[in-house]
Amino acid sequence: MSEQFEQLLPAEKNHQNEVSTSEQTEVTPPAEINAPTSTFTEVEKQSAVIRSILWSGTEMGGDLVVRLDGEADIQLLGQDTTSVSIAFEDVQLETDLPNISGPLIDRIDVFRDNSRTELMLTTKVDSQFAFRVQHTPTTMILGVLPQESTTQPSAEFKTKPEPVVEQKPQQPKPLVKTQVTETTASVAAKTKPAEPIKKTQRVVSDQEANLQARKLIQKGQLDRALEILQKRIKAEPEKSPAARGYLATLQLSAGMGRDAKLLLQESLQIHPDDLALRKLQSRLLLTEGNAAQSLVLLQQSLPEVGKDPEYHELLATAHQQQGQYEAAAKIYYSLLQHQNNTPRWWVGMAYSLELDKRYGEALMAYRSAVHIPGITASLKTYAEQRVKALSGR
């Protein structure tokens, strides 16, 4: 490829095999190389893994700590006075359960249901549970506190006599009444049942909200997915780039273009270096015919071709819409140097070269595209038509 198209780099125009004016005006961009309205490519989310489950505590209480390798949707399923259940969505268990002995914890059980892993902790006495999740790395912490002490008073404390000297016989009733009142209040404070833990106490992370919304979309629940993403953004406006990008994508697909446009403008002010948000904004601008502003946005900082080919394809499309065909051809050329078996990049380069009146090079590029295995029928038909037109037959 580099030998055939090395003249692209010095940008010397080749006008051999020129075609008639009527043939030039019939050239239209193939849909597969000029589709700014396409959405993000879905990336399959790999399951997270539970790496360790540790218990740190005594008979007076403690923490059950579960550490994961990767992001996960972690939810409190339910609880009563002696047990609590936690669900880990799309999570694999790759560790042993801790061996706990003592007067507080009875047992820990793990159940597997399709893609869900459920962990149940059971205590020997009535207890209170505090559930929270930390990130980087993802860690679930379950605090356990017995409602009453599991230790018994010592015999010495039980038999220790009360001082008699200070007691006045003429005031036995007030003294006894005060002691009973204080003891009753103390017991009531200790045995007061804890209120059930609500799931809303924990802020769902950016990736968790995104994952929940995608699952709801698969079930056709668009309104619920939008609600989850909007709640996530409202909870932490400056820490939700993934939720912002997916919400804007859903809004565009649902015909809520104005809402998506406002959201993207705000999001890029908060996350100016987020490439996913920048690509989505660029697609929206290209759809509106604003290729000039799209170019300005995309050229702020370019990722490496190998790390984000989609970004460079968008840049080539923006150059094409601006009539900058030589610049577009060079971008496709750099993409093909990275991976030369992608048919749409060959056709994209050929189309740019043809519009730049470099017909000989365009003809070779079209021919190269036709012979690549896996080319779609529509793209192959388009390339064959252009080969016929440029060959003069």
Query: Is residue 74 a contact partner of residue 30, using CB atoms and an 8 Å limit?
Result: no
41 falls in which pLDDT band (50, 70, 90)?
very low
pLDDT at 233: 95
Query: Is residue 314 a contact partner of residue 36, using CB atoms and an 8 Å limit?
Result: yes
pLDDT of 169 strictly over 70: no
- Taking alpha carbons only, the member of 17, 15, 24 closest to residue 392 is 17
Q: Which two tokens stand for residue 30?
A: 């193939």
Flag whether 103 is in a domain.
yes
HSE-up (13 A, CA, CB side) for residue 58 = 4
pLDDT of 96 strictly over 60: yes
Amino acid at 242: A
Flag whether 284 is in a domain.
no
Count structural domains, the chain: 1
Q: Which two tokens stand for residue 153?
A: 């008073």
The boundaries of the domain holding residue 131 are 48-70+72-147
Amino acid at 252: L
Flag whether 134 is in a domain.
yes
Q: What pLDDT digit, counting tens, does each position of 328-342 carry?
A: 999 999 999 999 999
CATH number at 96 reads 2.60.40.3470
Mean pLDDT of 86-111: 81
Query: Long-range contacts of range 186-192, CB-CB < 8 Å, 24 or more positions apart?
Result: 190/147, 190/148, 191/147, 191/148
Flag whether 111 is in a domain.
yes
Flag whether 247 is in a domain.
no
Flag whether 57 is in a domain.
yes
Flag whether 261 is in a domain.
no
If 0-12 CB within 10 Å is exposed, 13-18 middle and 19+ buried, where does residue 170 land? exposed
Query: Which of 129-143, 332-346, 373-387 is least confident?
Result: 129-143
**Between vectors from CA 129 to CA 124 and to CA 204, what angle results, nearest 5°?**
145
305 or 2, which is more confident: 305
- Taking alpha carbons only, the member of 79, 205, 196 closest to residue 139 is 205
Distances (CA, A) of 231 to 65, 227, 235, 358: 27, 6, 6, 53
Flag whether 370 is in a domain.
no
pLDDT of 146 strictly over 60: yes
Mean residue pLDDT across the chain: 79
How far does CA 74 lie from the centroid of its chain? 14
Would the CA dihedral through 17, 22, 23, 29 be positive or negative?
A: positive
pLDDT at 80: 85
